[in-house]
Chains A and B, each alone.
Chain A
Amino acid sequence: MTTMLRPLVIGTLAFLLVAGLAPAFPVWIVSLATLAFANALVVLGLIILWRAGLVPFGQALFYAIGAYAVALITRYTGVRDVFVLIAAGAVLSCLAAFLAGLLLARYREIFFSMLSLAMSMILYGVLVKTETLGSTDGFGVEPPTYFGYAPQGAMQLLVLFWLVLAFGAAAALLVFLYFRSVAGSLAVPVRDSEIRLEFLGVSVNRLIHLNLMIAGILAGIGGALAALSIEHVDPNMAYWTTSGGFVFVTILAGAGSVAAAFVGSFLFELLKSIAYDILPGAWQFFLGAVLLITILFLPEGIGSVFARLRRQKPQSTGATP
């Protein structure tokens, strides 16, 4: 029990610290962090799946569903309450994950990745063809209200940031607990040897289906929060390069630690901003170089730094040979 308590306390303190310091940070860092932490939720979902040895290239499907759910509601109804919006995004992406999972859970390895990609690209195609939704231009998202409170000016950004932080903290806690639950711990044996698990009486397909749904909900909430942060949705949110970006951050973060999803996501956004700023025509080079260096020197991702410093045996980190 004490092994759980320490990271929990530190994690809570970290979130509170960030929340408290937010007004003191420059505005551009706060808006960067808002988007980064929204994306971190998607990354959390990917970490869950990666521990089971699966890397979907189509999480953008649920991300886009969550985002468009929020956008469509604010566009066609008068509903603005942020919790209703996010709940709608979560429910819809949960449903989509359930349906997609019926097919997807039977696949492994590269075929899993490609089928997942195919699904998100089909959604992309549908959105592009829908001219009423602006096709590739997308459309705007109205600012939300929080139980009736409508923040103005600088508070708009801060309140949204605190909201994203709250969701992030809740997700981090739940995923942290999940990893230590039976269902969560079974992910690693799935990756190592499914047959043995089947012989133990566990339905691997059902387990993967469950993981897919969790990842799907997380991605949907992440998409909903991202839509509120950017105030715009477009079909590109379902495109494979968006999924690729999430996978990128996931590998960077490593599969061992929940905190790494947030730190990794934030660092990625920060890196991108720096790249755009100092190397306007060569930011891809910069990103590629940083990624390469990280992989070569920190092959198990940033999370391994946490694990290594903890000086315990790294628990089921991603790249066990």
Chain B
Amino acid sequence: MLTAFAILTDGLVYAAYLFLVAVGLSLIFGVMKILNVTHGSFYAFGAYGSAVAVGIYFERGLPAAGGFLLMILVAMAIGLILGLVLERGLLRLVYGKDEIVVVLVTYAAFLILEDVIRLIWGAGSYALYQPLGAAGTIDVGALVLSGYDIGLVALAGLIALGASFAIKHTRWGRLLTVVIFDREVAAAFGINVSAVYTFTFIVGAMLGALGGAVMAPKIAVTLGIGVEVIVLAFAVVAIGGMGSVGGALIGALLVGECRAAAVHLMPQVELFVIYAVMALVLAFRPQGLFTHAQPRKI
């Protein structure tokens, strides 16, 4: 019984992690059709920035609540700067080229940023452990849940709700939907697609950095953390469908619960789970779970 509950909660926590990491990528891909490999760099920069800035904050003994707020602010600042620099400085130059060329540009940027991280923060690892302790624990029988994990799930839920609301009920959201559906028609209607692109990329960057910032207290922030995250994010986005926040959420939940079940019940297959889920979903719904059916263009 406790195991079932543990699987449920563990799945939710892992899903929250996946969702936070993947939602930014999904947005960018949905709108700009770019498979943004630099997403891993946003995550890493967010983590490093958070570890350093929030670490200093907690060293000064300031109240914990402010620390959590600082984490979010740092992530947004990093996302803004990086997103702006990349989009305006680099992606501008390759819009309109073959999609795979754009992917390669983001891959090149990723390689460069990996070593920029090394340049700025060195090869050592950073630890930001204070938020974990500050968040406390909840006991459920023999199982101890970390308050921080619960907070992560709440944050993921908030972002999912916020993003869905924004997309359905704000002007930017509606512009986004139109551009996702058909870029050319949107431009024909006078929508400034270029501005939408920039805005979306920055939002995506902020979300990616946020993912890294909130994960920083749980992991050791060191070189290479961006690499693993890329494939995970891609897989979740492929499962859920491009550009769909709901899709990213469902995809994350699916993978999260399957993986939690695997760890508890059949640890041998844990390595395959995410790829097996992806293969299965794609086998039955080749466009991912939530992509709108695209009319075939002749």
Chain A positions near chain B (C-beta within 8 angstroms): 50, 55, 103, 106-107, 110-111, 114-115, 117-119, 121-122, 125-126, 128-129, 193, 195-196, 240-241, 244, 247-248, 251, 281-282, 284-285, 287-289, 291-292, 295-296, 299, 318-321
Min Cβ gap A276→B in Å is 13
B contact set with A: CB distance below 8 Å: 29, 35, 90, 93-94, 96-98, 100-101, 104-105, 107-112, 114-116, 118-119, 123, 227, 231, 234-235, 238, 242, 268, 271-272, 275-276, 278-279, 282-283, 286-288, 296, 298
B288 proximity list for chain A (CB < 8 A): 111
Q: A122-B272, A122-B276, A288-B109 are in contact. Are A251 and B286 (CB under 8 A)?
A: no
Contact A110 B242 (CB under 8 A): yes
CB-based contact A248/B279 at 8 Å: no
Give 9 pairs: A residue, B residue, CB < 8 Å, sorted on A. A110-B242, A111-B238, A114-B235, A114-B278, A117-B275, A193-B298, A292-B90, A318-B98, A318-B101
- Contacts known (A110-B35, A122-B275); A282 close to B108, Cβ less than 8 A: no
| Contact (Cβ within 8 A) B101 A296 | no
Q: How far is the CB of A288 from chain B (nearest CB, A)?
A: 3
- Cross-chain contact A240 with B231 (CB below 8 angstroms): yes
CA distance A114 to B283 in the complex (A): 12
Chain B residues whose C-beta falls within 8 Å of the C-beta of A50 in the assembled complex? 100
Contact check, A295 vs B111: say whether CB atoms are below 8 A apart.
no
Given A110-B238, A291-B107, A291-B108, are A125 and B97 neighbors across the interface (CB < 8 Å)? no
Starting from the known contacts A288-B108, A318-B98, 6 additional A-B residue pairs (CB-CB under 8 Å) come to A103-B283, A106-B286, A118-B279, A281-B123, A295-B104, A319-B101
CA A299 – CA B118 in complex, angstroms?
29
Partner of A288, one of B111, B279, B287: B111
Q: Given A125-B272, A284-B115, do A107 and B282 touch, yes or no (CB 8 Å)?
A: yes
Cross-chain contact A121 with B275 (CB below 8 angstroms): yes
Q: In the complex the two chains form, is B282's CB within 8 Å of A118's CB?
A: yes
**Given the complex of chains A and B, what is the CA–CA distance between A299 and B287 in angstroms?**
29
Contacts of A285 in B (CB 8 A): 111-112, 114-116
CB of A115 within 8 A of CB of B104, answer no
Q: A111, B235: Cβ atoms under 8 Å?
A: no
Query: A114 vs B236: C-alpha distance in the bound complex, in angstroms?
Result: 10
Question: Residues of B contacting A115 with CB < 8 Å?
Answer: 278-279, 282
Give the residue name and chain of the A residue nearest to B241 (CB): A111
Q: Contacts of B111 on A, CB cut-off 8 Å? A: 284-285, 287-288, 291
Structural contact, A299 and B100, CB atoms closer than 8 A: no
Residues of A within 8 A of B114 (CB): 284-285, 288
A114 touches B100 (CB 8 A): no
Q: With the chains together, A292 CA to B113 CA distance in Å?
A: 12
In whole angstroms, how far apart are the Cα atoms of A245 and B90 in the complex? 22
Bound complex: CA of A237 vs CA of B128, how far in Å? 35
Chain B nearest CB from A274 CB (Å) reads 15
Neighbour of B104 across the interface among A129, A240, A248, CB < 8 A: A248
Q: Which residues of A contact B119 (CB under 8 A)?
A: 282
Nearest chain-B residue to A115 (Cβ)? B282
Among residues of A, the one whose C-beta sits closest to the C-beta of B280 is: A118
Measured between beta carbons, the chain A residues less than 8 angstroms from B278 are: 114-115, 118
Closest CB in chain B relative to A154 CB, distance in Å: 36
Q: Is the CB of A319 within 8 A of B238?
A: no
Are A111 and B104 in contact, with the CB atoms below 8 A?
no
What A residues does B29 contact at CB under 8 A? 110
- Shortest B25–chain A CB gap in Å is 12
Of A111, A118, A195, A296, the residue contacting B286 (CB under 8 A) is A111
